[in-house]
Amino acid sequence: MERIPILKMGDFLLVTIQVDLYDQLAENLETDLVNSVKKYESKGVLIDISSVSIIDSFMGRILGNIGMMSKIMGAESVIVGMQPAVAITLVELGLTLTGVSTALNVEKGMDLLRSKIELSDTQSDDDDDYYDDTE
């Protein structure tokens, strides 16, 4: 069966999506990623979508699922390399990819992952959000 390769690099997992995902392939990727996070005790997942030319609501849901599943497993995730035309189309379609962290390229994505992990290591409590209460 066709599968998207998942590479382990230190504390991180790297996934480069270079083909159009059809339903079965996308579902396999979700399962494989969650299993790999557990197996390698990964702290972060980086997904490169620079070769993806189309993101429809199905694909958007898969990306959201991956973010949520990683989070539940205790790993941060970042999606990098979105094509400008894809970003414009997503917004017009109404898909906002809430809950998904993004970065411009792999390098910036790695920096973001590292900073997120450092943050979650130093702050174990949940109430790290500060709201100004002045009305």
* Shortest Å distance, C-beta 19 to other proteins: 9
Least distance CB 23 / other proteins (angstroms): 5
Residue number, 11 or 60, with CB nearest to other proteins: 60
Residue 88 and residue 24: Cα distance in Å, rounded?
A: 27
Q: Which residues bind other proteins (CB under 8 A)?
A: 20, 22-24, 53-58, 60-61, 83-86, 88-89, 92-95
Q: In this complex, which beta carbon is closest to other proteins, that of residue 14 or of residue 69?
A: 69
- Sign for the pseudo-dihedral over CA of 59, 38, 48, 31: negative
Q: Mapping DSSP to helix (H, G, I), strand (E, B) and coil, where does residue 103 land?
A: strand
By C-beta, is 26 or 37 nearer to other proteins? 26
Taking the least distance from each CB to other proteins, the nearer of 1 and 127 is: 1
Least separation in angstroms between CB 14 and other proteins: 24
Instruction: Give 35-38 contacts, CB < 8 A, sequence gap 24+.
Output: 36/6, 36/8, 37/13, 37/70, 37/73, 37/74, 37/75, 38/73
Minimum CB distance to other proteins, residue 89 (Å): 5
